[in-house]
Structure 1
Amino acid sequence: MKKIALLSGLVAALFAFETATAVKKDINIKKEYVANIYSPSQVMVATRVMGYIKKINVEEGDVVKKGEELFVVDPSDIYSMLNQARGALLQAQSGVLMAEMAYADAKKDYERFKNLYEHGAVSKRDFEKMTLNMNIRKKQVDMAKGMLKQAKAGLAMARNQLKYAKVKSPIDGVVTMKMKKVAEMALPGYPVLVLSDIHNLKAKSFVKEEDIDKFKIGMPVIIKVPAIKKEFKAKVSTIIPSADPATHSYIVKYTFETTKGLLPGMYAKAEVTIAKKEAVLVPFSALTSRSGIVGVFVVNGDIARFVPVTQIGQVKDKIAVKGLNGGEKVILYPPANLSDGQKL
């Protein structure tokens, strides 16, 4: 008899159910909203010269550094402009030289006629002609120097145009849009690339109208980014008070504490605490279903009772539910053949 009793005890121990105690406590009710990372600082990169695009060194999604060459405009037309400017400079320099030589001759004639006039050897009229001729030659020198200055400015502009043929990045950023292709015409003021500043990133979500009252400026948010498997602390910085009439959604923007590792366009989820509630926590392994109804099995003496529950949230590895009072012993990993009222 003792052996039979011992064997029965071992069998009972073998088939004993593992249990856990349901705990009642106040929990934070959290909700996740789809979000995306974006840069509020975008730069439209355009050329300052007109010409066909000879080369584009970047693609959409590429990260670029300030000063990095982005694309090159064919400089053939600019070289022609540069050669014309050099020719104009040589012509202006020659004009100055000739004007100065003519002025020097006119000044000598003036000095000679002045001396003759003072001694009565020439008439006043002839002396005035020499004076006028010298003044005209002086004006011509001034005009020639003005043209030389203009020619130098033209050459400097042509050289700058050549420099502008190579377009470089004005910021550290990421290429978010490529609007032209190689061999297409680039025009001043029309962007070829769009860059986003990677040092100034934010996130934003579209929030349904029934949830918008749960958001407050400054409230903490956790931004989860699956692509890099990281979470970032953030705060609600902006709530756009005008809804999209088609979706009845509001835009909510978040500001990060740090953005290391983030890039514009990344998919994210914004986890927001929307309320506090009293709930009962049970291990996830206690949940089961019978006839499509979710519930847990509670130990009631030596009987297993199926109690329907409603899930209202998750706290780490525990599920917050309604339907229990707290303090109950719930069966973990209940087998599929366990039924309500079954003796344990």
Structure 2
Amino acid sequence: MSEENTTNEAVQNTEKKRNTILTVLSFVFLIAGGLWILSLFFDFSRYETTNNAQVDAYMNNIAARATGHIAAIQFEANQFVHQGDTLVILDDEEYIIKVKQAEADLAVAEGNLHSLEQTIITSTSNEAATKAKLAGDLADLEKAQKDYERFKNMYADSAVTRNQYDQVVSKLKSTQAYLKAGENGLQASISTTQQSKTNLEAAKATVARKQADLDAAKLQLSYTVITAPIDGFVGERNLSVGDLVSMNQVIASIVLKQKWVTANFKETQVERIKAGQEVTITIDALDDKEFKGKVVGFSPATGAKFSMVEPDNSTGNFVKITQRIPVKIVFEAPAKELEEVKPGMNVTVEIKK
């Protein structure tokens, strides 16, 4: 009988302990649930937190500025390159021919220009010679006119013969004709000089245009060597020797060293975030490794405003959704410590209020 009482008492004690534990656990869960419900209405946290954040970096897409087949590729995927390093070389035979054609066109234009310059020199010399000859003809005309007047009076007085008088008259007329021809020749020479000068200006413009064509051909030739515009890491390599590259085709992307975090906070959180606040950045892919950062700026609009297709709330299907505002956070760690941090990694950020 005593053994049975002892057993019953042990069972009762066990059940009492279990009930006590269940009661305590119920109170704990009840209090935790109450605190969670209260947290939905009141923010008791000392931090503003979001896991809607990623590592960002500037990416420079390098596009071909000429069309051609790839002759050589001098980079590998994920390789670090310096500004000016050669990445891709295109077949330049066609562009070299165009440069030679432009050089030949320029040489022809310059030859025409030199020919016109020589024509102007010759025409100017002829004009000067014509003026000198015209001055002599004028002197001859003055002498012939004086002889005519003298012989006219002498012939009237019968001091000279008719033959002598006719010779003087003939000399006067021929001198006048020579003078007229000289004046016409001078006008023609002046006109030729003016026309040559006009043609000279056109020839100079042609030379300038041909020079520009040559410069353009050389510029196109230079585009066959594609170089890195900045320092950074090259992304994927999707090209092979012999591939045809078109103008404006992206042949590689370079990721710059500078990195930051874009954290998309709820619009209700942004009020408590200020520029300059310290941030703890936890990176998921690096076993929750923490980095220190600092808030440097806010997006001028919500992410929805920058989307390609912005939600249209005027259609009648309006549902109020809390919007996200991107916040830029910079790392305070030196660049060397951030080598393992890659753009696109998901992170969690905590900003102390």
Q: Residues 229 and 186 (structure 1 numbering): CA distance in 2 closer, same or farther, change over 3 Å?
A: same
Secondary structure of 1:117's partner?
helix
TM-score (norm 2): 0.57
For residue 132 of structure 1, report the CA deviation from its aligned partner. 0.7
Unpaired runs of 5+ residues, structure 1, are 1-26, 276-344
Q: Which residue of 2 aligns with 1:254?
A: 329
Q: Which residue of 1 aligns with 2:279?
A: 221
Which amino acid in structure 1 is aligned with residue 85 of structure 2?
Answer: E
Of 85, 107, 117, 2:102 maps to: 85
Structure 2 residue 270 is matched with structure 1 residue 270: no
Q: Which residue of 1 aligns with 2:124?
A: 107
Which amino acid in structure 1 is aligned with residue 274 of structure 2?
Answer: I
Which amino acid in structure 2 is aligned with residue 216 of structure 1?
Answer: I
Which amino acid in structure 2 is aligned with residue 150 of structure 1?
Answer: R
Deviations 1:97-130 (A, max 9, x none): 2222222222222122111222234422222011
1:280-295 matches, within 5 Å, as none
Structure 2 residue 270 is matched with structure 1 residue 195: no
Q: Which residue of 1 aligns with 2:189?
A: 130
Q: Distance in 1 between matches of 2:260 and 2:297?
A: 11
Q: Residues 273 and 46 (structure 1 numbering): CA distance in 2 closer, same or farther, change over 3 Å?
A: closer
Q: Distance in 2 between matches of 1:127 and 1:103?
A: 14
Q: Is contact 1:202–1:254 with CA below 8 Å preserved after alignment?
A: yes
Considering Cα pairs closer than 8 Å and 6+ residues apart, tell me whether 1 or 2 has the greater RCO: 2
The sequence identity of aligned pairs, in percent, is: 19
Q: Distance in 2 between matches of 1:138 and 1:162?
A: 36
Which amino acid in structure 1 is aligned with residue 273 of structure 2?
Answer: K
Q: Which residue of 2 aligns with 1:144?
A: 203
Q: Distance in 2 between matches of 1:61 and 1:229?
A: 25
Q: Which residue of 2 aligns with 1:45?
A: 62
Q: Which residue of 2 aligns with 1:165?
A: 224
Deviations 1:40-79 (A, max 9, x none): x332322333333333333443322111222223222211
Judging by fraction of residues, say which structure has more strand.
Answer: 1
Larger Rg: 2
Deviations 1:188-239 (A, max 9, x none): 44433232321x31123456x6995797234422234555996421124456
Q: Distance in 1 between matches of 2:288 and 2:230?
A: 27
1:6-45 matches, within 5 Å, as 33=51, 35-39=53-57, 41-45=58-62
For residue 160 of structure 1, report the CA deviation from its aligned partner. 2.2
For residue 88 of structure 1, report the CA deviation from its aligned partner. 0.8
Q: Which residue of 2 aligns with 1:6?
A: none
The alignment of Structure 1 onto Structure 2 pairs a total of residues equal to: 247
Q: Is contact 1:46–1:191 with CA below 8 Å preserved after alignment?
A: yes
Unpaired runs of 5+ residues, structure 2, are 1-44, 138-177, 305-310, 312-318
Q: Distance in 2 between matches of 1:107 and 1:33?
A: 86
Q: Residues 59 and 265 (structure 1 numbering): CA distance in 2 closer, same or farther, change over 3 Å?
A: farther
Structure 2 residue 87 is matched with structure 1 residue 70: yes
Q: Distance in 1 between matches of 2:256 and 2:274?
A: 24
Which amino acid in structure 2 is aligned with residue 130 of structure 1?
Answer: S
Secondary structure of 2:335's partner?
coil
Q: Distance in 1 between matches of 2:123 and 2:223?
A: 46
Judging by fraction of residues, say which structure has more helix.
Answer: 2
Secondary structure of 1:201's partner?
strand
Q: Is contact 2:280–2:351 with CA below 8 Å preserved after alignment?
A: no
Which amino acid in structure 2 is aligned with residue 201 of structure 1?
Answer: K
Secondary structure of 1:221's partner?
strand
Q: Residues 47 and 100 (structure 1 numbering): CA distance in 2 closer, same or farther, change over 3 Å?
A: same
Q: Residues 148 and 273 (structure 1 numbering): CA distance in 2 closer, same or farther, change over 3 Å?
A: closer
